[in-house]
Amino acid sequence: MLNFGYWDRKTTNLVEAQHELCNIVGKFAEMDSAKSVLDVGSGFSEPAKYWKSVYSNVGITCLDINFFQLKNTAGLVRVGQDSSNALDSKKTHQALSLLDHDILTDISLLNGTAKILPFKEESMDRVIALESAQHFKPLIQFIEESRRILRPDGLFVIAIPVTTVTKSSLSKNCDLVRLGIL
């Protein structure tokens, strides 16, 4: 995964922290009751693969602007076509669907931008941006697009890394930077 994860006193390594963040976001997003999830800024789609292992009935579409990360992912998952009904034909020229088939999970991969989501109105149960929304400029376009494609009872969940500066207990002159999730 390429996220900072969620660290607590029991966390011993980065993979545990990343899985814990996926667990927190999955619970917060009520993924157990979702049918269609859009993971925006998905990178190599590791969170989607993890969520699929926990919530096997959910259809997940990973959208990322980086074609090469998605192409790498396409060799690792069986790419589903579940979200094709939700695709907006007027906007499909904006996105390239990767249709390689390999192992295990049904995850749809789309190469596109967070500012123009190529889906029909009210077609998604969840829109999630896990440690990626801080890169979407201007952010308001992503928020507006997410609102457009979410069903009326849908959920919009973003986790953005934030930092806080605290005084170190070791030295009065040393500031520590703590990473957190907003």
Per-residue pLDDT tens digits for 139-153: 999 999 999 999 999
Domain layout of the chain by residue ranges = 14-181
pLDDT of 87: 63
pLDDT of 117: 95
**Cα–Cα distance between 68 and 84 in angstroms, integer?**
22
- State which residues of the chain have pLDDT below 70: 1-3, 76-105, 163-182
**Bridge partners, residue 78, by sequence:** 106
Count of beta carbons in the 10 Å neighbourhood of residue 181: 18
pTM: 0.77
Topology adopted by domain 14-181: Rossmann fold (3.40.50)
pLDDT of 157: 95
**Cα–Cα distance between 151 and 173 in angstroms, integer?**
51
The DSSP bridge pattern shows strands 124-130 and 36-40 to be parallel
pLDDT of 162: 74
pLDDT of 182: 56
pLDDT of 74: 76
Q: Among candidates 169, 161, 158, 165, which has minimal Cα distance to 6?
A: 161
